[in-house]
Amino acid sequence: MKILSEQVPAPTDVGNALIGIRGGSELGLDLRLEAVHEGILVSGTATAQIAGECGRCLEPIEYDFVADIQELFYYEGSEEFEDDDEVDQYWVVGDLIDIDPVVRSAIGTALPFQPVCREDCLGLCSECGVNLNDEPEHHHEVLDPRWAALAQLADIAAEDVAPDNTSDKREEK
């Protein structure tokens, strides 16, 4: 058994369009490597800095994320899962293992598809883009489009009925 505690450069392409591992950050690995009959069992945690934006209001989001890792790396020549395409297989090549795909999978699958800055985030106004968290009372009068023509007629009728003060002043002079 071997204990590994290291800081390594984090991969930059883990995540989705809204959230992922912060590029250029450090990835903390606290792993335990155990020799077992089939190969090497890797267990422990990976700590990464996550950055992105809220899927509702587009405000920045940043936090540290700890992913649990437990994976078996099979010795070369092991035929236990060799023909099974449904099972992810990781191999010990020589005396080396590649932990990168395991870390990518552990962190990438745990990230939210639609991250939010907080659970009760109100998002943006769909009409004008105002952040509703800053102005929760913000709203627009929504007119049913089927009544739009009638509303235009009402506006025209109101203009026709309005008194014309300029014509009265000319007559008095």
What's this model's pTM, rounded to 2 decimal places?
0.70
Q: pLDDT digit string (tens) for 30-57?
A: 999 999 988 999 999 999 999 999 999 9
Tell me the sheet residues that pair with 72.
41
Interval 131-156 mean pLDDT: 84
Look at residue 22 in the predicted model and tell me its pLDDT.
87
Residue 23's pLDDT band, with cuts at 50, 70 and 90, is: confident
Look at residue 95 in the predicted model and tell me its pLDDT.
82
Kindly give the residue spans of alpha helices, DSSP state H, lying in the chain. 100-108, 148-161, 165-172
- Res 171 pLDDT > 90: no
Q: pLDDT digit string (tens) for 62-116?
A: 999 999 999 999 987 666 655 555 557 888 888 889 999 999 999 999 999 999 9
Look at residue 106 in the predicted model and tell me its pLDDT.
93
